[in-house]
Amino acid sequence: MFAMKKSQFINIMNEHIKLIRNEYGLNQDKMAAILGLSKKTLVEIEKGRSTLSWTSAVALAIIFSNSTIINNQLGGDVEDIIVAIAFDDVGVKYPRTMGGKIWWKAVLEKDGYCIQQNILSHHYRLLDPDNRRRITSFDFDEIEEHLAREILKKCR
């Protein structure tokens, strides 16, 4: 089972920061200002001599969430991936989704609920009958157990 860790996420952001900067037509001064870094730090990251912090990697991914490069690396739903990594085993009330039209495949459907898996990052999410995320995780068993609890609650 694949479960992306913070360090893997940071490495992906480190490896692609220069490509993302170029995709948006930004020079190093502007990119550094956007991310709250010094130009020197950005240069060191781009050369592989330094690394982004978790916070800076998240900022890069969120600010540039429409980047083709980021979407191709993470599967298009940056927020879900960040939440899955950051809030492992923490209940979060998620907003309504579009139902997984892009980047998602249905793995299991039951009583109006749907477990989906992201086709690139391989993390899972459970959508309720209103297409609201109930839980996001890299652990399929955790998602399935949550589904069973949701269905049991509905029956009571």
Residue pLDDT, tens place only, 28-59: 999 999 999 999 999 999 999 999 999 999 99
Cβ pair 21, 28 in contact under 8 A: yes
Q: How confident is the model at residue 84 (pLDDT cuts 50, 70, 90)?
A: confident
Report whether pLDDT(82) > 70: yes
CB-based burial label for 24 (10 Å; 0-12, 13-18, 19+): middle
The DSSP H or E segment spanning 134 is strand 133-137
Q: How confident is the model at residue 1 (pLDDT cuts 50, 70, 90)?
A: very low
